[in-house]
Amino acid sequence: MTDKPVIVFPEKHRALLEPRLPEGVELRTFTDLESAMEIAPQADIGWFEDFKQGLMFKASAAAENAKWINSSGVGIDAFDTDLMQERGQIFTNGVGLRSDTIADFAVMGVLNIAKRFADIVRMHDRSEWASVPKGSRSLFGSKALILGYGSIGRAIGDRLSAFGVEVTGVRRTPGSDPREIGPDDWRPRLGEFDWIVVAAPGTAETEHVLGAAEFAAMKQGTGIVNIARGSLIDQAALIAALESGHLDGAVLDPTTPEPLPADDPLWKAPNLIVTGHVSGAGQSDSLQRAVERFLVNLDHYLKGEPLEYAVDFVRGY
**In this predicted model, what pLDDT tens digit does every residue of 41-68 receive, in sequence order?**
999 999 999 888 899 999 999 999 999 9
Span 159-171, average pLDDT: 98
pTM over 0.85: yes
Q: Which of 227, 273, 17, 287 is nearest to 106 (CA)?
A: 227
pLDDT digits (tens, 9 = 90+) for 226-247: 999 999 999 999 999 999 999 9
Answer positive or negative: Cα dihedral of 278, 100, 74, 152. negative
Strands 166-170 and 68-70 come out as unpaired
In this chain, the answer to whether the domains covering 6-97+285-302 and 99-274 adopt an identical fold is yes
Q: What is the dihedral of CA 140, 145, 150, 156, to 10 degrees?
A: -30
**Sheet of 222-226: strands edge to edge?**
180-181, 166-170, 143-147, 195-198, 222-226, 247-252, 272-274
**Sheet of 26-30: strands edge to edge?**
26-30, 6-10, 45-46, 68-70, 90-92
Q: Which numeric CATH code is attached to 99-274? A: 3.40.50.720
Residue 282 has pLDDT above 70, yes or no: no
Q: Which of 45, 38, 33, 34 is nearest to 8 (CA)?
A: 45
- DSSP type of residue 65: T
Q: Which of 298, 280, 308, 312 is nearest to 103 (CA)?
A: 280
Residue 95 has pLDDT above 80, yes or no: yes
CA dist 285 → 16, 291, 295, 305 (Å): 11, 10, 16, 27
Bond before 183 cis per omega within 30 degrees: no
Indicate the fold that domain 6-97+285-302 takes in CATH.
Rossmann fold (3.40.50)
Q: Which of 180, 185, 155 is nearest to 168 (CA)?
A: 180
Residue 83 has pLDDT above 50, yes or no: yes
Cβ atoms of 109 and 251 closer than 8 Å: yes
Q: Which of 253, 202, 205 is nearest to 231 (CA)?
A: 202
Range scoring the smallest mean pLDDT among 70-84, 271-285, 298-312: 271-285
Residue 128 has pLDDT above 60, yes or no: yes
- Select the more confidently predicted residue: 52 or 87: 87
Residue 284 has pLDDT above 70, yes or no: no
Span 170-179, average pLDDT: 93
| Mean pLDDT, the chain, whole residue set | 95
Enumerate the domain spans of the chain.
6-97+285-302, 99-274
Residue 156 has pLDDT above 70, yes or no: yes
Cβ atoms of 199 and 227 closer than 8 Å: yes
Work out the percent of the chain whose per-residue pLDDT is above 90.
Answer: 86
What is the number of residues in the chain? Answer: 317
pLDDT of residue 260: 97
Rounded-to-integer distance, Cα 46 and Cα 68, Å? 6
Rounded-to-integer distance, Cα 46 and Cα 42, Å? 9
Strands 195-198 and 222-226 come out as parallel
Residue 309 has pLDDT above 70, yes or no: yes
Encoded amino acid at 243, one letter: E
